[in-house]
Structure 1
Amino acid sequence: MNIKQAKEDIKNAVSAYLTKDQFGNYVIPIERQRPIFLMGAPGIGKTAIMEQIAQELQIGLVSYSMTHHTRQSALGLPFIVKKTYGGEEYSVSEYTMSEIIASIYDLMEVTGLKEGILFLDEINCVSETLAPSMLQFLQYKTFGRHSVPGGWIVVTAGNPPEYNNSVREFDIVTWDRLKRIDVKADYEAWKEYAYAKGTHPAITTYLDIKKDDFYKIETTVDGKNFVTARGWSDLSDMIKLYEQKEIPVTEQLIVQYLQNKKIAKSFAVYYDLFKKYRSDYQVDKIMTGKAGKEIVKRAKEAKFDERLSLLGLLIDGLVNVLREVSAQEGAVMELVNCLKLMRADFVVEKDFTEVVKRQISAEQKAISVGKKAGNLSADREYMLNITIAALDEQLNLIVQKIPASGDAAFKLLKTDFDKRKKALTKLVSQTDSHLTNVFQFCEEAFAAGSQELLILVTELTINSYAAQFIGKYGCAAYFKHNKDMLFTERKKDILAEIDALMK
């Protein structure tokens, strides 16, 4: 299965394991909850989906790479205690708590979360001295004499032996106690994650053209050449920062992330071409409906590869504004909750600045706790930071205006909130215009029913920000072309059925 399917499978299993009966007991007893073993090549996103699952289920996440652990750090250190048996005193070996188990309790103390995922990566690559203890852990969920706390689901991951010389094969007894999931690299599944993360459009459009370059591991006379999903993702982050700081993105940089010289060179050539398209097509003008006839003419006469790059630029531009709408909406809703709490406090407290400061601290704590729990998404962190910035501005209003009463303080903040809500309405209207303008441009450049419009509709459909916006506010142009696309697909199905009957 691909990484998206694996994520859903693991998420469903975790949800099932955490299901309780009417007495508060886990339906599947802890000792019978099979650890999940995720087998897949390096760099395909195994760790990333653990973070996503923890974020979506709002549970804790503790992650460890087992290759970094010795027997002592995993099991704990031995010490001697005195015990009496049958009237005789004996010296007995005990163990301190495992670092891994202790980290779960630490997270529970800091965050208040009682349930979560213990994710142990590269579990089949542990040292020779640790291997027997790891097999025992997989069977009994204990390190030394200390068990994984109830409510914490064990998920492990490992690489197939062809990718790692340190892999140790499990015996049948161990495999029979695991829920094994085999994962293969799949660009289309990764692409959805890439859109949500904001992967650089040069990478997604390049891989749309050359899907075989998404994941490749080869053994040559010079050693191993490889390109992984992790490499593309990390390269994207660096390209965006280099562009922001106006540092040239060179083949020398690219090959540091795409460790296959042929693919690195191919992408470097494409990236230079992509930059030219970005400059020539002026995406901002297309989105605001101000594209000149010469831009439409060039798009109409362009080869398919160039059209695909242009679509990537347009989709990236739309996704950026759609992501901002989502974040601002979330911040407005968060501010509503903050205003309700502050209004109640204004009634009983005279120091209005302290009320707002306390709310700012609560939002900051939400970020801190979320990071420690491992379940804070980048989108939620951005939304909370927008909220904190708004509260800071409201605090300044309180300081400057010095309201005479709690009602006056609330009215002051409510007026500020109404302005923010009005700004959000304006942003939504602008975003709707951007969507409409992009569809109109594509209709003019590529014609209705074209492959390019089909790609545009498909990419917007699978993008979470676009789906959220269109589902809430609508978009006539999208619905029109989506309907045409469905009609075309149904027509193809009918023709195929007729062909089958004629044979």
Structure 2
Amino acid sequence: MKASNITKVIKKLIDQKLPVFIWGAPGIGKSSIVKQIASQQGLEFLDLRLSLLDPTDLKGIPFFNADTNEGVWAKPSFLPSDPDSKGILFLDEINTAPPAVQASAYQLILDRKVGEYELPQGWSIIAAGNRENDRGVVYKMPPPLANRFVHFEMEVDFADWKTWAFQAGIESSIIAYLAYDKSMLFTFDATSNEKSFATPRSWEYVDSIVKSGIKADLILDSISGAVGREAAVGYTSFKKVMKELPDLKSILDGSLTELEEENSKVIMALAIGLVNALLENPSDEAVEHVLNFSLELPGEFAIMLVKDMQLNDIDVESSDAWGSWVQKFAYLLS
């Protein structure tokens, strides 16, 4: 299931307090979407790694209460205690925890309490983990624990990632390269021994590397360390092509109205760059100039450009140029 669809479902299920488990390969953004949901819903977010805990950490340490002559369990201080609080308790990498620790989580997940502790009513439980065939150190999840979750397997989807990348301010050359070669967004191979491979998470690292100011003679090796040699060579080669791009400001201000260029890499990079430029400096005039400019682009790139504008809430329908654009590319939209 795509991340965008998982997000929609989880937003409904957390209202019902149903425990959810998100499965997926490493680096595809499982924890990120849960954290984003919490932020969007105005909820607290507590990331708990069961693999770092002992079985007694969840249930608490037993001690004798002299006042009642009873043995009781000390409530864990790291779990939410405010009865009026609302949030998401995120159990990340739950299947990397030893079976004894997983067993201690049974009651917390199903009954929302363990030992003397009870999870506040406003909290929901979401867990995530890598699949057993992802070459990670995982323990097979016992059926009694598995049956306590609603399970979803998250897949890598470029359209979802691109929408996120625009909003996150990812370097436009990275978005353009991956739009040109979508296979490079995720290159994880469970049978390979390579330490570096491309994932949505590692491309975010590349964004930081590119913006870090590392010298040109070291940039290829640095990017290779994040996404692997093949993806790094492909990206750096693509970025060289971007030097052929016209000044984007000349398109936004209407002084450049058409592009004398047939290289698909250049046109792809230009379309991505224009969306980023509009997000940074939005105006009705700039939108109109971009739409007029897109009338001279090959149809598939004009469609991609306008769809990306719409996905990023750039108002194209109100522009005076919208009618001309629809009239020219209506045959591609049907």
Whole-Å separation in 2 of the counterparts to 1:221 and 1:189: 26
Asked if 1 retains the 8 angstrom alpha-carbon contact of 2:209 and 2:222, the reply is no
Whole-Å separation in 1 of the counterparts to 2:192 and 2:128: 30
Alpha-carbon spacing, 1:268–1:99, altered in 2? closer, same or farther (3 Å): farther
3-state SS of 1:230 partner: helix
Work out whether 1:34 is the aligned partner of 2:18: yes
Residue 300 of structure 1 is matched in structure 2 by 260
User: Which amino acid in 2 is paired with 1:265?
Assistant: V
Residue 40 of structure 2 is matched in structure 1 by 56
Whole-Å separation in 1 of the counterparts to 2:142 and 2:191: 32
Residue 304 of structure 2 is matched in structure 1 by 455
Residue 105 of structure 2 is matched in structure 1 by 134
User: Which amino acid in 2 is paired with 1:9?
Assistant: V
Please give the per-residue CA displacement for 1:105-124, whole angstroms capped at 9, x wherever unaligned. 3xx59xxx632211111111
Work out whether 1:66 is the aligned partner of 2:26: no
* Aligned match for 1:476, one of 301, 306, 320: 320
Deviation at 1:287, TM superposition (A): 1.2
Work out whether 1:123 is the aligned partner of 2:88: no
TM-score, normalised with respect to structure 2: 0.89
Alpha-carbon spacing, 1:252–1:443, altered in 2? closer, same or farther (3 Å): same
Deviation at 1:37, TM superposition (A): 0.8
User: Which amino acid in 2 is paired with 1:253?
Assistant: S
Deviation at 1:156, TM superposition (A): 0.8
* Aligned match for 1:98, one of 59, 69, 76: 76
Whole-Å separation in 2 of the counterparts to 1:184 and 1:115: 29
Whole-Å separation in 2 of the counterparts to 1:483 and 1:58: 43
Structure 1: where are the runs of 5+ without partners?
18-32, 85-89, 323-430, 491-503
Please give the per-residue CA displacement for 1:209-251, whole angstroms capped at 9, x wherever unaligned. 1111111112567445521111112322332343xxx854711
Q: How does 1:262-411 map to 2 (within 5 A)?
A: 262-274=230-242, 276-277=243-244, 280-291=245-256, 296=258, 299-322=259-282
Please give the per-residue CA displacement for 1:150-174, whole angstroms capped at 9, x wherever unaligned. 1101111111012244322223332
Alpha-carbon spacing, 1:252–1:225, altered in 2? closer, same or farther (3 Å): closer
Asked if 1 retains the 8 angstrom alpha-carbon contact of 2:3 and 2:160, the reply is yes
Deviation at 1:441, TM superposition (A): 2.6
Asked if 1 retains the 8 angstrom alpha-carbon contact of 2:135 and 2:190, the reply is no
Alpha-carbon spacing, 1:214–1:485, altered in 2? closer, same or farther (3 Å): same
Q: How does 1:140-219 map to 2 (within 5 A)?
A: 140-219=111-190
**Larger Rg computed on CA atoms:** 1
Work out whether 1:436 is the aligned partner of 2:284: no
Asked if 1 retains the 8 angstrom alpha-carbon contact of 2:50 and 2:101, the reply is no
Aligned Cα RMSD in Å?
2.5
User: Which amino acid in 2 is paired with 1:439?
Assistant: L
User: Which amino acid in 1 is paired with 2:10?
Assistant: I
Whole-Å separation in 1 of the counterparts to 2:193 and 2:90: 35
Please give the per-residue CA displacement for 1:32-73, whole angstroms capped at 9, x wherever unaligned. x43111111111111221222122222222222333333344
User: Which amino acid in 2 is paired with 1:269?
Assistant: S
3-state SS of 2:126 partner: strand
Whole-Å separation in 2 of the counterparts to 1:129 and 1:38: 21
Asked if 2 retains the 8 angstrom alpha-carbon contact of 1:75 and 1:99, the reply is no
Whole-Å separation in 2 of the counterparts to 1:199 and 1:264: 16
Asked if 2 retains the 8 angstrom alpha-carbon contact of 1:218 and 1:225, the reply is no
Alpha-carbon spacing, 1:221–1:189, altered in 2? closer, same or farther (3 Å): closer
3-state SS of 1:43 partner: coil
Deviation at 1:190, TM superposition (A): 1.3
Asked if 2 retains the 8 angstrom alpha-carbon contact of 1:307 and 1:452, the reply is yes
Asked if 2 retains the 8 angstrom alpha-carbon contact of 1:3 and 1:44, the reply is no
Alpha-carbon spacing, 1:222–1:34, altered in 2? closer, same or farther (3 Å): closer
Alpha-carbon spacing, 1:175–1:127, altered in 2? closer, same or farther (3 Å): closer
Asked if 2 retains the 8 angstrom alpha-carbon contact of 1:219 and 1:225, the reply is no
User: Which amino acid in 2 is paired with 1:307?
Assistant: I
Whole-Å separation in 2 of the counterparts to 1:461 and 1:214: 23
Residue 46 of structure 1 is matched in structure 2 by 30
Whole-Å separation in 1 of the counterparts to 2:47 and 2:327: 45
Alpha-carbon spacing, 1:270–1:74, altered in 2? closer, same or farther (3 Å): farther
Whole-Å separation in 2 of the counterparts to 1:439 and 1:462: 15
